[in-house]
Amino acid sequence: LTQLFRPLDMLGMVYRTIRQGLIDMADMFRLLDTEQEVQDKPGAPALVVRRPSVVFEDVVFGYDRDRTILKGLSFEVPAGHHVALVGPSGAGKSTIGRLLFRFYDPWSGRILIDGQDIAEVSQTSLRAALGIVPQDSVLFNDTIGYNIGYGHPTGEATPAQIEAAAQAAALSGLIERLPARFDTEVGERGLKLSGGEKQRVAIARTLVKNPPILLLDEATSALDTRTEQDILATLHALSENRTSLSIAHRLSTIVDSDSILVLQDGRLVEQGNHAQLLRMDGLYAEMWARQANETQANETSEAVANAA
Ligand code: ATP
């Protein structure tokens, strides 16, 4: 009988892997606006991550042959470090995320995780090592418990794991208010969640997945300042003991990063921590000064709106 059921078990596992793969892909497409075009090499081994470092080694890449987007990009994110990517719109920040997930291969150069070229390992193992928290996450038309638990590598998160992740992602208050708690249906055909709540679900999901490397896409302007601060605190907790690469739109959110990479037109133009970059008085300092002015203006109008 065991012999008979083993293939069925396998099928169940394949189904769960595909289903999880699909929603991960859906998240990626939403964030990265791209489609998959690379294939595993025959017999590609699994990525083995002991020390989750990320290295870009002289990476050259473009979407079309006649336009180079990344023009020889080299940087390292040592294991356990939190590195932020900043730069003007179109500089290539999201492209770096797409290459890290291997939705495309570089024209030349290499991307290494813990010393292994990501083009040489299986994509399943690569994506199992990477977590993504997009700005706007996709929710299944299923229960909120399912939406959190499907992050689990085998699809079998225990209720205790789901609850712990929800708590760490500061979702407990929301869940207490839901009619059927974790069994409440959410998504298009269920309860609609706000942008901030959806992002918390993505954080909880990633906690359940427990990947060693995170790609964070920080919110642009969908959240109010208070919610943003709360979410940032949760993201910090999520990043603890992991390696993270954040695509940052607001500089105020990344001042504590170990290192900030300033990208312009597909090249790394400055690199350092916040204080070092301010002292350089270059592009970062200029962006910082500009955003400080904008923030002040926004805060004034928010205060005026609140007072009204
Ligand atoms: P933003 O801050 O606005 O999100 P970014 O720094 O993340 O910008 P990317 O999204 O990496 O920039 O885009 C870099 C360049 O590549 C842009 O000029 C963009 O138009 C181009 N690009 C992005 N995706 C594609 C694609 N699928 N096909 C062709 N060109 C693309």
Closest CA to 111 of 61, 55, 63, 47: 55
What gap in Å lies between CA 124 and CA 71, rounded to an integer? 28
Tell which atom from ligand 1 comes closest to the C-alpha of 96.
11
Write out residues with Cβ below 6 Å of ligand 1.
34, 63, 69, 87, 89-95
> Which ipTM did the prediction report?
0.97
- Read off the tokens for 157: 């998160």
Tell which atom from ligand 1 comes closest to the C-alpha of 247.
7
What mean pLDDT value characterizes the chain? 85
Chain-centroid distance of CA 263 in Å reads 18
Q: What is the pLDDT of residues 170-208, one digit of tens each?
A: 899 999 999 999 999 998 777 888 888 888 898 899 999
The per-residue pLDDT for 133 is 85
Q: First CA to last CA across the chain, in angstroms?
A: 71
Pocket test for ligand 1, best of 69, 70, 291 (most atoms within 8 A of CB): 69
Q: How far is the CA of 270 from the centre of ligand 1 (A)?
A: 20
Residue 66 scores a pLDDT above 70: yes
Tell which atom from ligand 1 comes closest to the C-alpha of 33.
27
Pocket test for ligand 1, best of 93, 99, 262 (most atoms within 8 A of CB): 93
The per-residue pLDDT for 128 is 92
Residue 18, H or E segment? helix 2-32
Q: What is the pLDDT of residues 208-250, one digit of tens each?
A: 999 999 998 875 555 566 677 777 788 888 888 899 999 987 7
Residue with tokens 């607001």: 250
Pocket test for ligand 1, best of 94, 246, 268, 283 (most atoms within 8 A of CB): 94
Q: What is the pLDDT of residues 4-36, one digit of tens each?
A: 445 555 555 555 555 555 666 656 555 555 555
The reported pTM is 0.82
Closest CA to 260 of 272, 246, 242: 272
Q: What is the pLDDT of residues 100-154, one digit of tens each?
A: 999 999 999 999 999 999 999 999 999 999 998 877 777 888 999 999 998 888 7
Q: Whose CA is nearest to atom 31 of ligand 1?
A: 63
